[in-house]
Amino acid sequence: MRYLLAVFLLSCLALTGCAVNQGAPETDNESNKGTPIKVKNSVDETVDRKTGQQISNHLVELASQVPQVNDATAVVLGKFAVVGIDVNSNLERNKVESIKYTVAESLMHDPYGANAIVIADADTNARLREMGREIQEGRPIAGILDELAAIVGRVVPEVPTEILDNQQKQPTNQNNDQLNQKEEQMLEKNQEEQSNDHLKK
């Protein structure tokens, strides 16, 4: 029975394949007979610097609105941007990181700043400012890209995503023996009651 079903299916498949091929149009090689095909270049090779400058100004405006940001600069190439912020040099490191996070959060909600990297280093900020000036003067993009890659390479660590995933790490055991057996049972009972009460609501 299986053999007959397999033969039937294969013959149907073969007949269907032959029927489709009968009405097939001529291939390009047969119809053109050596005539060259003209294709329009759809890649826009010109970089619209004005648009990049407008986006850069917009990102600078967004970053400057964050409290304790004295000044900002941005370099935009394509859909990526590097935003440098100038903060008070007397601020503690954790406060500077908090300001950077606030700037990054404000840029994240903006369509132009979603792929931006925020930098608060004074030297790097000065380099970004110089790069922005060179872009406005029309310096070739290749040199600017190399310098921008060096900046981003210094700031962003090269860490594979597997390292960032801490699901494989075992939790520490140093706090496991803080409760005696009776206290641990009471704690588990309270947690169970609370979770059951939560489910009833």
Alpha carbon distances (Å) from 179 to 137, 170, 173, 175, 194: 69, 21, 13, 9, 20
pLDDT tens readout for residues 126-152:
888 888 888 888 877 777 778 878 877
The Cβ of residue 21 has, within 10 Å, a number of other Cβ atoms equal to: 8
Please, what is the Cα angle at 126 between 121 and 70, to 5 degrees? 70
Q: Are 109 and 73 in contact (CB under 8 A)?
A: no
Output the pTM of the full model: 0.52
Per residue in 103-137, is it b (16+ CB within 10 Å) or e — as a string? Answer: bbebbeeeebbeebbbbbeeebbebbbebbebbee
Q: Are 117 and 73 in contact (CB under 8 A)?
A: no
Rounded to 5 degrees, φ, ψ at 39 are -120, 130
Residue 90 has pLDDT above 80, yes or no: yes
pLDDT tens readout for residues 23-57:
555 555 555 566 776 666 555 555 445 578 888 89
- Write the class of the CATH domain 49-155: alpha beta
Rounded to 5 degrees, φ, ψ at 75 are -120, 125
Q: Report the distance separating Cα 31 and Cα 16, nearest Å.
A: 26
Domain locations along the chain: 49-155
